[in-house]
Amino acid sequence: MPLFEYQCQACGKVFEVLTQRRNLSALPKCPECGGSEVERLFSAFSATSGEVGSCGASPLGFG
């Protein structure tokens, strides 16, 4: 199921919603104020390959 990020136009709250594919066009209500005017945000995504990066170094000296 896709995870989307929304921002409420009334209070500015940013929140995430896990949505079923058949409900992609339905916009959720704000969990903070109950507002129905929300905007879907463009979110970054992450993916992992399970392999060490090309340099073999861990960020911040961990590992």
Contact between 38 and 9 under an 8 Å Cβ cutoff? The reply is yes
State yes or no: pLDDT of 12 exceeds 70.
yes
| Residue 7 · residue 13 · CB < 8 Å | yes
Give the model's pLDDT for residue 31.
96
Delimit the domains of the chain by residue range: 1-43
CB 16 within 8 A of CB 4: yes
Of 12, 8, 17, 3, the residue nearest 45 (C-alpha): 3
Where does the pLDDT of residue 61 fall: very low under 50, low under 70, confident under 90, or very high at 90 and above? low
CATH architecture of 1-43: Single Sheet (2.20)
Structure tokens belonging to residue 28:
């959720």
pLDDT of residue 20: 79
pTM (2 d.p.): 0.62
Tens-place pLDDT, residues 20-57: 777 777 889 999 999 999 999 987 666 666 666 555 55
